């Protein structure tokens, strides 16, 4: 759990995937409410995954008398294509029914960054903000709480976009992107290490936006680590192999610290590359199953290739199932799912690529 105050507004960065997450959210808001000095009863959820547990948290807070506002860009763009899409659509419909005009769910195509869904300081008097623990959630929470700089919305869109574009924003944005790129991967042997590092990074970046020189110095020191991670990525790209036509795999299991944006960019430059695969020893699926395969469709083929169609429509998503699938161009699977289903389906699909 990552939490700190942004412009005096208690902010929790969390994904509502479990019953424990729901309890954490409820307890956080209650505690914030007990300490609040204003009369507002607003709670903002922004950039949070649209899940059944998110709906549960929202409903419980509303029952306790809070005015819950929901802003997000993870809606289904078009007709649901699989079981997960149907679950998201159902949860989104329930949120809309529960919250009415306080619910605004759109899609990335229309709103690449969630910061565009709030006005500057719109929730400066909120009891609490609940946001996704990524750069998009951070920038959206920042703006909602009343901290803004020219170009924040454009930076936020890059930070939530393709990995190789994330470090192309303003100098401030680059400090955050490079810091995120060098965060330690999740390690089940030390589960809080990444969380603590990420909280320190987020808090420093918020201070840097507000011209805190010491925070800027700490963030600039991260750039050295980022440059080293870029060098590792170049080595990994050089050793990558084409496992089936158009599918390039880089084995990162022995190199836990690398820059994903650089690595994916280099892999996509390989002739004929349509799908990149990173084999990793760390990550949410690796924590449960030992190894994780992270697939991404190259930018120019994202309208043509839907990775969610590789698996059966009733496939459940979650680390415990060995599958994480949130969008059509990304897919994370365990080694068993990779070997038993994904690799052979990619081989079948590749026959139509050449």
User: 278 and 293 in contact (C-beta within 8 Å)?
Assistant: yes
List all residues 6 or more positions away from 303 whose beta carbon is below 8 Å from its beta carbon: none
More confident residue, 190 or 276: 276
Match 């700089």 to its residue by tokens.
149
What pLDDT was estimated at residue 354?
A: 62
The DSSP secondary structure of 262-330, one letter per residue, reads HHHHHHHTSTT--EEEEEES-SHHHHHHS-EEEEEE-GGGTTT--GGGGS-TT---BGGGTEE-SSTTE
- Architecture in CATH for domain 234-350: Roll (3.10)
257 vs 255: CA distance, rounded Å: 6
Position 161 scores a pLDDT of 87
Cα dist from 202 to 143, 161, 325, 351, whole Å:
14, 18, 26, 45
Q: What is the pLDDT of residues 332-343, one digit of tens each?
A: 999 999 999 999
* pLDDT-based confidence at residue 318 (cuts at 50, 70, 90): confident
User: What share of the chain has pLDDT > 90, as a percent?
Assistant: 75
pLDDT at 261: 87
pTM of the model: 0.81
- Domain extents for the chain? 2-161, 234-350
> Which overall architecture, per CATH, does domain 2-161 show?
Alpha-Beta Complex (3.90)
Mean pLDDT, all residues of the chain: 93
Angle, CA 73 vertex, CA 68 and CA 77 arms, to 5°: 125
Closest alpha carbon to 117 in 154, 76, 73, 67:
73
């Amino acid at each position: 759990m990552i939490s700190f105050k942004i412009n005096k507004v208690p902010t929790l960065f969390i994904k509502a995937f479990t019953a424990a997450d729901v309890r954490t959210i409820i307890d956080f808001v209650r505690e914030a409410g007990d300490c609040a000095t204003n009369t507002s009863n607003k709670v903002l959820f922004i950039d949070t995954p649209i899940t059944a547990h998110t709906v549960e948290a929202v409903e419980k807070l509303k029952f306790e008398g809070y005015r819950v506002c929901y802003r997000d860009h993870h809606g289904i763009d078009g007709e649901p294509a699989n079981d997960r899409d149907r679950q998201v659509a159902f949860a989104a419909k329930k949120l809309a029914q529960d919250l009415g005009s306080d619910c605004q769910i759109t899609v990335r195509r229309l709103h690449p960054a969630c910061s565009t869904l709030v006005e500057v300081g719109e929730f400066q008097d909120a009891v609490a903000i609940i946001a996704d623990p990524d750069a998009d959630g951070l920038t959206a929470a920042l703006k909602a709480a009343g901290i803004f700089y020219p170009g924040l919305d454009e930076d936020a869109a890059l930070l939530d976009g393709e990995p190789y574009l994330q470090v192309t924003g303003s100098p401030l944005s680059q400090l955050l992107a490079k810091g995120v790129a060098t965060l330690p991967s999740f390690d089940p042997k030390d589960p809080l290490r990444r969380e603590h590092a990420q909280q320190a990074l987020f808090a420093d970046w918020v201070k840097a936006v507000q011209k805190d020189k010491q925070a800027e110095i700490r963030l600039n020191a991260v750039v050295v680590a980022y440059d080293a991670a870029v060098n590792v990525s170049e080595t990994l790209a050089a050793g990558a192999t084409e496992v089936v036509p158009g599918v390039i795999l880089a084995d990162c299991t022995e190199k836990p610290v690398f820059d994903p944006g650089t690595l994916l960019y280099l892999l996509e430059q390989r002739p004929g590359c349509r799908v990149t695969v990173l084999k990793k020893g760390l990550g949410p699926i690796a924590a449960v199953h030992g190894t994780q395969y992270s697939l991404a469709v190259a930018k120019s083929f994202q309208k043509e290739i839907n990775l969610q169609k590789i698996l059966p429509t009733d496939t459940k998503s979650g680390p415990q199932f060995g599958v994480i699938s949130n969008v059509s161009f990304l897919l994370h699977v365990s080694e068993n799912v990779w070997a038993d289903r994904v690799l052979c389906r990619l081989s079948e699909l590749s026959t139509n690529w050449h």
